[in-house]
A and B are shown apart, each in its own frame.
Chain A
């Protein structure tokens, strides 16, 4: 039998599954080892039925529907009869710029930063409490955030899209949010942009972001500051240096009071800054994505067939400490011989590994990870 499948079978003989609320109203879907397609439209009346399905098939991937239905096992949406759905945010490394050049660990750290931003939106702006939010490491390249507040469950896909658009800043109308004001002076009127860091919503976020960013830049030496400014999209050396020279103490104070002179080329830093402040969740081309009222998500506690890591709950308060390559590992330490095809450096279970090509003996958890990711064969 296939090595991975055998290992998965060992895990599923006694797995730690977190069953979703309204368990029997969900659709379940599976991808089995060696099978291309997905087995869909499956429902279970009892938790034991699901557990024995897992034991029997030890699937490579296990999903359940974020929605719950009157007839979860019906073949079409219409027959299923949609009853409501959790609100799910899927944060994946695919949507992080330059993810390809990063190691697996770096990638996951980047996604975590996005997750932290998302949490701040959900709690500060939307007012959700911790008890309504559950975070999961996806087992693969990212994190899932589930919001199950009773008021969001009946929301339709347009309403959900508004929430997603809010955290990703899509459709943000800059001119409508940062008000332009003309202050009449003796002969001319002085045009300024007004910002207010105390406001809620994006206008406050942008204001705080700008002030914080400019303060940080101001503190730096000239050369470093210019470099920092140039990190923003569309800012060249010329703009950066003129911006820096412009930032006198007096002007910074004016900005902190909420007044930005038009001439600061402020808009040029504001737009890329919005990008930095928003959550990267969908690819930047904004292709029509399937509405999340009927999506499938990985079952907490199941294993991810491409890593062997477990879909693991992350405590909101301990997000910072969570280490997927320690906390989502389920396999043991026994030595296993594998043939490594691609060399790799990785830190797992707080051990550093530098693995070269060829036959190697490694701990079981690493063997599973390497084989699942296609770095080695067993």
Chain B
């Protein structure tokens, strides 16, 4: 470690963003879920008391944004208690939900608890992937949920994960957002971690698909103006410079998993060889400033070439540690999305494969749905 603990405290800013993944339980089976593939093998969930303590400690350490996520956070019956405490402590409170379980009664209770914002995801979750958009039951649920969100005065923020199997329906997705009265729509291309990585060949769109979707999105932007703000996120794999993942390791984000692991990002648990602290054993301030795990990729002494000598090293911090680990076997390597990476071909190979139409592919791998049974069997 290049910086000692005392210096670290003065150099590192507070964990502004706390992502509370309160449960891995979820009624959905999304093929792009970023929860660990072996989520069903993790330890018992934190208790209400544990979470209340985590909220207090994080707030004292300077956290201001709190996202309640999962799994489906509404599965936790104590969600209202946690939101109320987060609100009382001065957090801006965000709920990231599929809407499943958001009844009028719970929405009212969450509003009373001080919930500031709801981000509703399209649950592209049914095993009948192709008709998820036209599925009446799904649509009714979304309609009902959207009405509940509006009735409580929350802004209507929709998130839809985009991939090879739904990207050609981008117009229908935007139309649906308009129909539901959304103010913001995030069309976030799937990134390839966890379940999405297993399903990558099935999910990574072709260049033509992405260009078409972007073109249509831009046309809608012109048409709709301020009525609906659309954010379109291109998959990393089509870039030549990596993203500044999590805005830097241990820089802004702190994720606490259902079993209490503290992570610099929600997928970091995959990095074997780093022991992540648990909120049951260590307080948030020590985790953030002093733990080995959170200091692991701070500074630049861990960097290798080409990052070490790269002019952009502060701009992108070498990209994503998990992507480097998954695609090169070493988390300290450059994210191979970068075309300066000697292993950039690991990304371009996947991109090349994505250009082959499904009908012309020799090997057809089945989609793997996020599922506790599959997760219990997973060897990671």
Query: Are A and B associated in one complex?
Result: no
* Chain A interfacial positions (CB closer than 8 Å to B): none
